[in-house]
Amino acid sequence: MKSAKNELLQFLAGLVMLVAGLFIFSQKVIVYSSFLGGFSLGGMSMTSGLLVVPLIAGIVWMFVSGASFPSKVLTGLGVFLIIVAVIASTNIHLISMSLYDWILLLVLIFGGAGLLAKVLLVGDYKDDEEDRGGYRSRKSRRRSGSYGSSSYGSTSIDIEAELDAIKKNK
């Protein structure tokens, strides 16, 4: 595939593809919760009403003791337990769809993410003459000593010579 000259168009196309793919994905997912039925963590089962007890105890303790640190910890623990229970009791299901829909969904999401990553993460080296040509070209310039600083090139050659000498002695 030829690289496009306009990175803004690539960015916008990737963003539109990603948003469209995520929108279609969100339409194909069913999320429901059974929080009122209870909560099970490990082998221990609790009803959802039992999870509110630490929160109530923490709030009462806070009003009685004047907002002491342990009462704040108990209240925070109660809130945390309720949030964990809601998340743990949430069920997410993907509805059935055709293979064409599934492939279209994957191409939109991952193709869009790929275009965005290409524009945002891959640098443009047109302005930087030293880095043009990639890793192999930098490696060959480093060995020849034409990397801009003659001391860097000679130092790398000396290090390579020392490494070769160490290998020969073994």
Structure confidence at residue 142 (pLDDT)? 55
How many Cβ atoms sit within 10 Å of the Cβ of residue 147? 15
The rounded distance, in Å, linking the Cα atoms of 49 and 60 is 17
- Residue 33's alpha-carbon distances to 6, 25, 40, 47, 156, in angstroms, are 46, 19, 13, 14, 62
The closest of 113, 120, 100, 99 to 22, measured between CA atoms, is 113
In Å, how far are 7, 8, 76, 87 from 61, measured between CA atoms? 59, 57, 12, 27
Per-residue pLDDT of the chain (170 residues; tens, 9 = 90+): 455 468 888 899 999 999 999 999 989 888 887 766 556 666 676 677 777 888 899 999 989 888 888 888 999 998 998 888 878 778 888 889 899 999 999 999 999 999 999 888 886 655 554 545 554 555 555 555 555 444 554 555 678 778 788 888 87
- Indicate yes or no: pTM above 0.85: no
Structure token digits, residue 153? 């090139």
Check residue 36 and give its pLDDT.
60
- Model pLDDT, residue 1: 47
Integer Cα distance of 98 and 22 in angstroms: 17
